[in-house]
Amino acid sequence: MEIIIKIIVCFFAGMGAGLGTGFAGMSAAAVISPMLVTFLDIPAYEAVGIALASDVLASAVSAYTYGKNKNLDIKNGLVMMAAVLVFTAVGSYVSSLVPNKTMGSFSVFMTFMLGIKFIVKPVMTTGSAMEALPRLQRIIRSIACGMLIGFICGFVGAGGGMMMLLILTSVLGYELKTAVGTSVFIMAFTALTGSVSHFAISGKPDISALVLCILFTFIWARVAARFANKASPKTLNRAVGIILTVLGAVIMAVNFIS
């Protein structure tokens, strides 16, 4: 019975995380962490490590799909990624010193509000808006934002993807598909750094939960990314908004239960 419950919890956690990753570049940890902690009694720090590990393949397959459809900006994304990677490791260490209770809920409200934002005020910018920003200014903004995003992602294993999506569309002027594609490209490396840091500090995780979460998150991220790249900007904005709003509400409910 215990293994059946674990499979069910990991399936729904992976489904939510995969859809969030494929559609919006959302960190899988925002969904997986609170569900593992609440329903499987897995320690919060270990749950974040499992969630970040699940994020690696899901983000990688999403980035590949967006890249194949020419919705990925690797050149500009690498600048932000360098800052994100360094500060993910810093955030991961700091989070090991924080009580379990503080973990897993940091980005929930932001996810919910960002979902409403995409429904009410869709991102309809084009690639030309990003190119209009001077190169030096774009680099400085990318480094500063990457430091903040990396620390948050390493600290709670969540929020990095959402902040990155918001920054890429609002601060750097990306259109939505390219913002999501670039976000998941960066998050694949960020999640790898974060998960390695977590497991190095906390030790061996629950292997069955790890494998199940990685598998289900990967499958649903692939499905979501393929759909997102075929959708019109208006449809994608609405889909991203609905996914984020629903996931935000569900995670808040899960946190309330816990």
**Inter-axis angle of helices 160-170 and 2-24, nearest 10:** 10
Average pLDDT over residues 214-231: 94
> What does the pLDDT look like over 4-41, one tens digit per residue?
999 999 999 999 889 989 988 887 777 888 889 888 98
Residue-level pLDDT at 2 = 83
Residue-level pLDDT at 125 = 63
Q: Which of 99-108, 139-148, 198-207, 211-220 has the lowest mean pLDDT?
A: 99-108
With CA atoms as reference, report the closest residue to 77 among 12, 165, 204, 192.
165
Residues 6+ apart with CB under 8 A from 241: 115, 116, 117, 118, 119, 120, 122
**Measured distance CA(75)–CA(150) in Å, rounded:** 18
> What does the pLDDT look like over 152-184, one tens digit per residue?
766 765 556 677 887 788 777 788 898 899 989
Give residue 224's pLDDT band: very low, low, confident or very high (50, 70, 90): very high
Residue-level pLDDT at 68 = 94
Residue-level pLDDT at 121 = 74
Mean per-residue pLDDT of the chain? 81
Tell me: pLDDT of 101 over 50.
Answer: no
Residue-level pLDDT at 208 = 94
Residue-level pLDDT at 103 = 46
Give residue 69's pLDDT band: very low, low, confident or very high (50, 70, 90): very high
DSSP string covering the chain, please? -HHHHHHHHHHHHHHHHHHHHHHH---THHHHHHHHHHHH---HHHHHHHHHHHHHHHHHHHHHHHHHTT---HHHHHHHHHHHHHHHHHHHHHHTTS-GGGTT-TTHHHHHHHHHHHHHS-----HHHHHTS-HHHHHHHHHHHHHHHHHHHHHHS-SHHHHHHHHHHHTS---HHHHHHHHHHHHHHHHHHHHHHHHHHH-S--HHHHHHHHHHHHHHHHHHHHHHHHS-HHHHHHHHHHHHHHHHHHHHHHHHH-
Q: Which two tokens stand for residue 39?
A: 């329903």
> What does the pLDDT look like over 44-59, one tens digit per residue?
888 888 998 999 999 9
pTM exceeds 0.95 for this model = no
**Measured distance CA(110)–CA(251) in Å, rounded:** 11
- CB 124: neighbour CB atoms within 10 A? 11
**Measured distance CA(50)–CA(38) in Å, rounded:** 14
With CA atoms as reference, report the closest residue to 217 among 56, 42, 69.
56
DSSP string covering 234-246, please? HHHHHHHHHHHHH
Residue-level pLDDT at 153 = 67
Residue-level pLDDT at 99 = 57
Q: Which two tokens stand for residue 195?
A: 């998960």
Tell me: pLDDT of 114 over 80.
Answer: no
Residue-level pLDDT at 53 = 92
